[in-house]
Amino acid sequence: MITDSRELVVIAVGSNATESLNNGLNLLGGLSKFLSKEDNVLILIDLQCPFTCPSSVNQETFSALLGNIKLIGVKKVQILPGVMWGIDQKKALDSLGLGDIIQNYDATLITYEELYKFSAPLIDEVTKIICLSQIRTEPLWKLTGSSYLMWYFNPPNKRWKNISNYKNKYEDERVQYVFEFLERKIPTLYINDCYFLLTGNGPFAWNTTKSVKTKRIFLSNNIMAVDWVTYEHFGLDPIKNLFIRKASELNLIDKKSINLNSQVQSTYPSLKFPETEPSNINLEGLTIFSGELNSGERYALLQFLFMIKNLLFKDSLNFGKWAIIAGKNPPDPEIDCDIIVFGDSAIKSSKKYKFRTITEKRSEIINLMGFEIGVGETLEGDELEKAILIQQRKIRQKIEKTRKKYGELIATINNLVQTSDEEAKSDKEETKLKLQMRMDLKINKYQYKIEKLRINIIAKHKKQAIKNKLLDLDLNERVLEIPGNPPLGWDPLVYLTHFWQNKQISTLNLFIQISREYYTFPKYNKSKIRANMKSERKKIEKRDKEKNRQLKSKNKSELNIIENELKSNLKNLELNFKKNTKRIKKKHIREGGKNE
Amino acid sequence: MNDDWIRILNSAQGFTINKKFINLGTKIPLLSIDIDTKPFYFLWLELYPLLMNSNSNSIELIVDDNDKVNNCILHKSNKDGMYTEAIKIEVDTLPNLTTSLRNVGEIYNILRVWVKKTNNIDIGNLRIIPLTFINDIVSIHEKYVKNGINNDFLKMIGEYFDVIVNNRNQQVLLCYPPSPLFEFLTKFYKYFENFSYYDIMKAFRRYLPKSKMTVTFRLKEDSAFLSYFINITKSRITFQYVPIPDYIFSKISSNKIEEIILKFLTKDCKTKLNLIFQLDDIIELIFEVIQSQFPLQKERFLLIEEKFLNFYRSIGIPWDMDPKPYIYNNNFRFWIYFLGFYINPRKLSFWSIPTLLQSFLSMFFNLSGNILLITGKKLPNLIDTQKIDKLNGFNVSMNDGMVEKIQYINDNELQNILSTIKNKNLGHSKGDINKKSILSQIRTEFSNEKSFVSSIIWISDDMISKIVNILLIDFHQSNRFSGRKLVRILRLFRKNKHFSVFPENPLYRRVKMQNSLQFLKSITPILTDLHEF
């Protein structure tokens, strides 16, 4: 009998997940081909708690697999839930109802601590490994598969260690880990479960995803072959899988080396893959400013954006404008809004950015019962003239009113019935003159006020312009820093809850309340944050002081000049006003004498 | 043709000629509910498109089991589309219908030309009705309506629907153009299978709370209102027609008319819940539902939910009530806001609630897979040797948060599973008693015996009744504080005897563990659009 040396991959279908798995195992030659009674079996499962199937393992496939293993009667079956950063393995297992299934099949849960216990690591006792991966679309890997899940053999705290210390790139670290693991232990069976397949933006963005029932399960004892076939089946170039790319470069896999036994004839119609460009993720009022993002940062940022896209779906309407800054050397957003600085590299490189401080402390104009107090924005030229005219408009209206009022009075006197009585005639003329004089005096007074207002406004703006030369910076408190290199898991969410008010982010708050049960959120140290802000503020003040020291003396002399100029102008104006008042009075007295 | 129908036709004919109604009392055909001919006229005009597509002249062929035409009636309508005359056509005079009756489109075209030629009438509808269908409908009507009193309105409707679906499935009850309602009932039945509308109505009836209310529909014409005093008791639902006196229409402006009618009904019927609906808005909503394709897509489902919520929040436009509960009082709500409760039905976030609800449920419940739903009086206790109360089970197959299939699990099957569990537990020694919850054991046994279920949910009959009562009646009563009612609902979810879920997902655990008032406080800003005062 000629045996095929190529790697066998099977694609099985069924009316339910149990049937699909059983068909697949039969096509592979039965599970007993891989396991024996003496074996100590470890099963790695995908657990994206609290998200249920198809984000996490399909309970039915898992149950069917355990049922098949139980039939063989292996010595020991242990389950390792592959969880993301911060998730408690046991609680996650129970909340998804898997603890009960494990118990039903006499299997046991094994945690990362037990698996890699320093004194006696249980991984050494394991004789067979099965990887049961739930397939879903993913931004960087396009599709999760066995090679994606293998990284979850690594405990969460060790996964990001090298990446955080800039020793390794995110994708290289993942691929390297899988190769290293395969050098130590080679799993016996890989199951890529696509019975239900999650498409769209992945488990974190559960309202932009869609579960597709493909009814297919892929099985093989070769990790590269099973992922190669899975990728190809869903219309993807297998080289897009970073692990396969490396394996292909090392000539460990090619298409010819795969023997495919499929129950389905055609490949699956195209899937909807996740968004890979952070700036394309839209949320009400949000602008994303990203600098140079390395793959780890990009991955974490995308996960964060997917999460907030759901959790702030409604709440983002309560923020107004807001921005997220991420990556190395991001653009400096010159906008007046809430700013989230995501990750250590963005925090470091934006330390001296303009948005960190409120650069201009403008004294606002306060309108109190119709009186405008303060200067507002410093103006020059036409804009200043316009502002002056606006402020003068009330006095001008008064002039018009006065003219109208006295004009009407004089006209009424003129229209009185003509009389031959000389005394009455002179009385009439006298009254007219008196009215004319009063009108002129009032207008003169108003014109004096108009000019005075003009001089004062010009002086105010000149003074403000000089004062503005002095740096009067303050810390921008509308900036939130989310530390981490990159920030992992759901840790960033807790920072958001302290940044915005409770009622603004009610959905996020509810999610955090619920997930505290199985996720360890970082402690938010308010006093430490306040102390940091205080020291930042002091630094800014110190910087201001140093820069202002030189400017102050120069400004002082300029201010004195303006002050003196103002005083003399006002004095001249007053003199003119008095002169004009005298002139008007004289003129009318003279005219009165003539008439007499 | 019965007297009621003749009266309706005569009245419509009179209105067509004189442009004035002689308001006669009659009954709605097949429902035996009192009505005046004027509101019936406008009710017909609005409901007919739902039943038969478009208001127009129609022809009806009544056929026997051998597809032989026994009777033919031409319904002549006026300009509005209301029937004014029924003309009996001699079957012998009909053109030769050589084609099969299933080719309803072809038959319609033949008859359309023939009717135009012989009677000079353009027909817009054709109905082919089997004689057996008419007999079935008549016997159902006789079964429920005795001495002019309808004994169980909802069950009767359920049976009507079942007969319609049966005849549609056998392709003997045919309409051209297709009837939107009949099409929907058939599609719905074909998709979910193995259920009867009668059972649905029966279950719905069981959970309806005792209440007295008035329901008024505003019809298209300004002065056409249709009011009923509805009394729901344990044994039956009665509809009492309340004519609106003419003086109400003569005194006031049209925008205040609804308010006055509600006040009149409150006083006249002494009811604490008086509702008024714009019938065309309701029909629009019904059309949204019945025009959906199956399997229903998630996006479509969310859109329908949004439309219903928007309808509910727009109180004062498509619907209104009197007296209004405290929560609609601005002063009262200010203090509620002050205490941190963002409850405002007018600001219900209709656009976000369906998406958020779907997201949270998809996240925490296994919404791709099977869920077993069990209902009954009491959660079975495995230690008791007494007979367990009757249970109903539904194996709900879901994908992407949408129901794909519902399989009914009858009491016997569930009792068998429970007795298997009991027997297994008896085998255990005292120290080795199965400590797993009853739901966990049912899940395991059901998965082994029938099909795998990822979640199992228990809801008591009592809880369903209470929720229906609170949401439909209590929440809208003026003398009650609505927030307290919502807390009562949350409290029901905390009691295992009413509601239980396995596996206990984090959302359910949160509801169970947190103080209901606090929980309500945390979810109300999610349900309400802010920017209140």
CB-based contact B218:B279 (threshold 8 Å): yes
Residue A424 lies in a domain: no
Size of chain B, expressed as the number of residues it contains: 533
Cα separations (Å) of A498 from A283, A346, A460, B226, B412?
20, 20, 41, 55, 55
CA end-to-end distance (rounded Å), chain A: 147
Percent of chain A scoring above 90 in pLDDT: 37
DSSP three-state, residue A19: helix
**Least confident residue range of A155-169, A171-185, B201-215:** A155-169
Mean pLDDT, to the nearest integer, of B464-486?
79
Of A262, A292, A326, the position where a domain reaches its end is A262
pLDDT digits (tens, 9 = 90+) for A91-147: 889 888 899 999 999 999 999 988 888 777 788 888 999 999 999 998 888 899 999
Residue A161 lies in a domain: yes
pLDDT band at B533 (very low <50, low <70, confident <90, very high): very low
pLDDT at A349: 92
Residues A176 and A227 in one domain: yes
pLDDT above 60 for B226: yes
Residues of chain B with Cβ-Cβ distance to A60 below 8 Å are: 369, 452, 454
Q: Enter the DSSP assignment of A315.
A: G
pLDDT digits (tens, 9 = 90+) for A1-25: 445 678 899 999 999 999 999 999 9
- Is the CB of residue B436 less than 8 Å away from at least one CB of chain A? yes
pLDDT band at B325 (very low <50, low <70, confident <90, very high): confident
Backbone angles phi and psi of B399, in degrees to 5: -145, 130
Residues A144 and A217 in one domain: yes
User: Which residues constitute the domain of residue A304?
Assistant: 278-361+473-524
Residue A269 lies in a domain: no
Residue A166 lies in a domain: yes
pLDDT band at A554 (very low <50, low <70, confident <90, very high): confident
- To the nearest whole Å, the CA of B457 is away from the closest chain A CA by 13
pLDDT at A334: 72
String of DSSP letters for A118-160: SSS-GGGG--EEEEEEEEEEETTTEE--HHHHGGGGS-HHHHT
**Which of A32-64 are b and which e, b meaning 16 or more Cβ less than 10 Å from the residue's Cβ?**
eebbeeebebbbbbbbbbbbbbbbbbbbbbbbb
Please tell me which residue of chain A has the smallest CA distance to B506. Answer: A514
Neighbours of B347 (CB within 10 A): 16
Residues A332 and A449 in one domain: no
| Residue B124 token pair | 């817009």
Q: Are A52 and B356 within 8 A, CB to CB? A: no
B396's enclosing H/E stretch is strand B391-399
Nearest-CB residue to A510 (from B366, B443, B526): B526
pLDDT digits (tens, 9 = 90+) for A321-347: 899 999 999 998 876 788 999 999 999
Average pLDDT, chain B: 86
CB-based contact A367:A391 (threshold 8 Å): no
Residue A110 lies in a domain: yes
Mean pLDDT, to the nearest integer, of B335-363?
86
| Chain A interface, best mutation among B348, B367, B435, B454, by max A CB count within 10 A | B454
pLDDT at A257: 87
**Which of A11-23 are b and which e, b meaning 16 or more Cβ less than 10 Å from the residue's Cβ?**
bbbbebbbbbbbb
Distance CA B411, CA B375 (A): 10
Residue A209 lies in a domain: yes
Residues A282 and A162 in one domain: no
pLDDT above 50 for A366: yes
- To the nearest whole Å, the CA of B355 is away from the closest chain A CA by 7
Residues A355 and A229 in one domain: no
pLDDT above 80 for A550: no
Residue A155 lies in a domain: yes
Residue A29 lies in a domain: yes
Mean pLDDT, to the nearest integer, of A176-200?
92
- Is the CB of residue B400 less than 8 Å away from at least one CB of chain A? yes
Distance CA A229, CA A220 (A): 10
Number of structural domains found in chain A: 3
Distance CA A52, CA B508 (A): 14
**Least confident residue range of A41-55, B73-87, B240-254:** B240-254
Q: Between residues 297 and 356 of chain B, which touch chain A (CB distance below 8 Å)?
A: 298, 342, 349, 352, 355-356
Residues of chain B with Cβ-Cβ distance to A316 below 8 Å are: none
Q: Are B356 and A314 within 8 A, CB to CB? A: yes
pLDDT band at B429 (very low <50, low <70, confident <90, very high): low
Nearest-CB residue to B358 (from A53, A207, A314): A207
Please tell me which residue of chain A has the smallest CA distance to B297. Answer: A210
- To the nearest whole Å, the CA of B322 is away from the closest chain A CA by 32
Residues A510 and A582 in one domain: no
Cα separations (Å) of B433 from A449, B388, B393, B415?
99, 20, 26, 21
Nearest-CB residue to B368 (from A18, A53, A95): A53
Residues of chain B with Cβ-Cβ distance to A64 below 8 Å are: 452
Of A206, A237, A262, the position where a domain reaches its end is A262
Residues A463 and A401 in one domain: yes
Nearest-CB residue to A314 (from B349, B505, B522): B349
Residues A183 and A289 in one domain: no
Query: How would you classify the pairing of strands A322-326 and A338-342?
Result: parallel
pLDDT at B31: 87
Percent of chain B scoring above 70 in pLDDT: 93
| Residue A163 token pair | 């990446």
